[in-house]
Amino acid sequence: MYILGINAYHGDSSACIYKDGHLIAASEEERFRRIKHWAGFPIKAINFCLKEAQVSIQDIDHIAISRDPKANLGKKALTALKNRLNLSNIINRVKNLKKAASIEDEFMLHFNLKAGELKAKIHNVEHHRSHLASAFFASPFEKSALLSIDGFGDFTSTMTGIGRNNKIEVLETVSYPHSIGVFYTTFTQWLGFPHYGDEYKVMGLAPYGEPKYLDQLKKVIKFKDNGLFELELKYFNHPSKGVNMVWEDGIPAMDSLYSDELLMEFGPARNVEEPLEQLHRDWATSIQRITEEVIYHMLTHLQQKSGLDSVCIAGGVAQNSVANGKIIQKTPFKKVYIPPAGHDAGTCIGAALWVYNQLLDLPRTEPMLHGYLGSRFTNEVIEELLKQKNISYTKLEGDELFDKVTTCLIDSGVVGWFQGRAEFGPRALGHRSIIADPRRNDAKEILNAKIKRRESFRPFAPSILKQHIPDYFEQVDDVPFMEKVFLIKEEQRSKIPAVTHVDGTGRLQSVEQTIEPKYFGLINKFYEKTGVPILLNTSFNENEPIVNTPEEALNCFLRTKMDMLVLEDIVIER
């Protein structure tokens, strides 16, 4: 039985495919379109999944889309009338909902099918149920508390629940217009970061300031006795004007969410061209801190209500790795699972699993222990590409390859590392990575200035051999998807300055030999030579989606100042 899951007409459009409950492939559409957060119908990702499964669209038994246009329909209509929302905004939303509702027509059109040729049953799965399913059904827990938090999806921003075996029970929801995600995005825009997905910049900036504005922000977001929250709506545009968004065939975009009332209360918004002052850093710290407090407030209530010691979390706000790293300390939960694609791209997996487990009542299969689900290429394909472009290379395997690459790293080199299947989700996890020596004081500056070309305040991540986590980090936990930030032990920070953020933290990726033997082997060789079981790891891209093909990796290598490119077993040097 084949189930195709899709996230369509929404940011981070994506697709996945399951065969008898086993995940065969998953990818975001942006990897093929080369446009970050691409929104629309993910036809290229769908075709990729079908090719990986070696089936046609007519072989698919179920199609699950992580949107349900009928969900909260009454609330949507009532809100539109009550707030006299802008007519053009309503028309745009209706068009978007109509596309999600008529998904069968899209498949008929894209695959040139006639009536009756699509045998698959279509399932619209509500957005936050898809998030919950993407976390719980993929987790190793038989029973767990569940939390989904993001901006909005199907008129809901937050959902809690309990997962037991192959069923999810929804407990509580927070509906439009109240949203932690919208709160964070609004202040992200106000701080001068206007693009869709810029919230991580505020998270990276936060350690440079002090939480001076918590009292002011408590006017904006209110903690409720029932463990939930609500916004003071006068500070936001979306309750009266709606959220005017562009979701079709390109980069998602939205209008400014902050109101004139917010500007009068907190001051003018920073222009994107203005320098960052200490004021902005302090606001970033305060925004991050109050967001963390709301998350822990909800989780503490959820733990008390559920009585469980494990929690699964998904949604855009679940990408806040700083908050994630403190959950065990700040709440009664003892175990946390966050999938590799906790953001909206991961809802394609959640929708498919909701159908398989919840609707079809089939037993859960293996947990998701890695995110290597995307495109892959053989040495032969890579060599053919290089021969066509007349680029010289050497081919090395095993220890010889590890020795060559680590020598380059120790000699101050920066290496593009392209291996196996591309990662599904926003993090490079050693398959589409740029790597460097974490001991170098100048590594951040070199990577930012010559390759990544991004803000200097943003940190780089440490990939660490799993067994050495207790030697370097204050907390001991398995972090396979780079989803949590932990404090680095004070005595170790001077040894790895390139991956130590200004507040002494690192967003680590634990690397296990049984799951990723080649990346483990490379880091282990570096450890043998240096005594440090860590490599600096950042995504293989330059202000674009993470590279997906050998040609994209080669182009990125040639236009930047990387010293070495490794494509599977093929080594290219300057």
Residue 458, classed as helix, strand or coil, is: coil
| pLDDT range class, residue 101, cuts 50, 70, 90 | low
Give the whole-angstrom CA distance, residue 422 versus residue 407: 25
End-to-end alpha carbon distance in the chain:
49
User: 568 vs 448, which has greater pLDDT?
Assistant: 568
**Cα–Cα distance list, 463 to 107, 427, 434, 492 (Å):** 40, 12, 11, 15
Average pLDDT of the segment spanning 1-22: 96
| pLDDT range class, residue 78, cuts 50, 70, 90 | low
Q: How many separate helices (H) and strands (E) can be counted in the chain? A: 21, 23
Mean pLDDT of the chain, nearest integer: 94
Among the listed ranges 79-83, 126-130, 412-416, 471-475, which one has the minimum average pLDDT value?
Answer: 79-83
Q: What is the pLDDT of residue 530?
A: 98
| pLDDT range class, residue 93, cuts 50, 70, 90 | low
Amino acid at 120: A
**Which structural domains are found in the chain, ordered by start?**
2-133+348-359 (3.30.420.40), 140-338 (3.30.420.40), 379-573 (3.90.870.20)
Q: What is the pLDDT of residue 340?
A: 97
| pLDDT range class, residue 253, cuts 50, 70, 90 | confident
| pLDDT range class, residue 375, cuts 50, 70, 90 | very high
Q: What is the pLDDT of residue 91?
A: 52
Q: What is the pLDDT of residue 99?
A: 62
**pLDDT tens digits along 214-223:** 999 999 999 9
Residue 565 has pLDDT above 80, yes or no: yes
Residue 29 has pLDDT above 90, yes or no: yes
Among the listed ranges 84-88, 387-391, 471-475, which one has the minimum average pLDDT value?
Answer: 84-88
**pLDDT tens digits along 59-70:** 999 999 999 988
Among the listed ranges 32-41, 96-105, 325-334, which one has the minimum average pLDDT value?
Answer: 96-105
Q: What is the pLDDT of residue 89?
A: 54
Average pLDDT of the segment spanning 83-105: 61
Q: What is the DSSP letter of 11?
A: S
Among the listed ranges 44-48, 94-98, 371-375, which one has the minimum average pLDDT value?
Answer: 94-98
Do residues 335 and 310 make contact, with C-beta atoms less than 8 angstroms apart? yes
Q: What is the pLDDT of residue 534?
A: 98
Give the whole-angstrom CA distance, residue 28 versus residue 41: 11
Q: What is the CA 284 to chain-centroid distance, rounded? A: 20
Average pLDDT of the segment spanning 513-522: 97
Average pLDDT of the segment spanning 73-96: 54
Q: What is the pLDDT of residue 252?
A: 81
Give the whole-angstrom CA distance, residue 574 versus residue 562: 8
439-454 exposure pattern, b = at least 16 Cβ within 10 A, e = fewer: bbeebbebbbeebbee
Q: What is the pLDDT of residue 317?
A: 96
Average pLDDT of the segment spanning 348-357: 98
For 378-425, the DSSP string reads: -HHHHHHHHHHTT---EE--HHHHHHHHHHHHHTT--EEEE-SSPBSS
SS (H, E, C) 415-439: EEEECCCCECCCCCCCCEEEEECCC
Structure tokens at 96: 């978007």
Average pLDDT of the segment spanning 383-406: 97
CA angle 183/316/480 to nearest 5° reads 140
Q: What is the pLDDT of residue 463?
A: 98
Q: What is the pLDDT of residue 255?
A: 87
Residue 166, classed as helix, strand or coil, is: coil
Q: What is the pLDDT of residue 234?
A: 97
Average pLDDT of the segment spanning 267-271: 97
Q: What is the pLDDT of residue 250?
A: 75
**pLDDT tens digits along 272-294:** 999 999 999 999 999 999 999 99
**pLDDT tens digits along 457-511:** 889 999 999 999 999 999 999 999 999 999 999 999 999 999 999 999 999 999 9
pTM here is: 0.94
Q: What is the pLDDT of residue 13?
A: 96
**pLDDT tens digits along 163-212:** 999 999 999 999 999 999 999 999 999 999 999 999 999 999 999 999 99
Q: What is the pLDDT of residue 247?
A: 67
Q: What is the pLDDT of residue 249?
A: 72
Q: What is the pLDDT of residue 449?
A: 76
User: 83 vs 357, which has greater pLDDT?
Assistant: 357
Q: What is the pLDDT of residue 338?
A: 98
Among the listed ranges 14-28, 106-120, 209-223, 257-271, which one has the minimum average pLDDT value?
Answer: 106-120
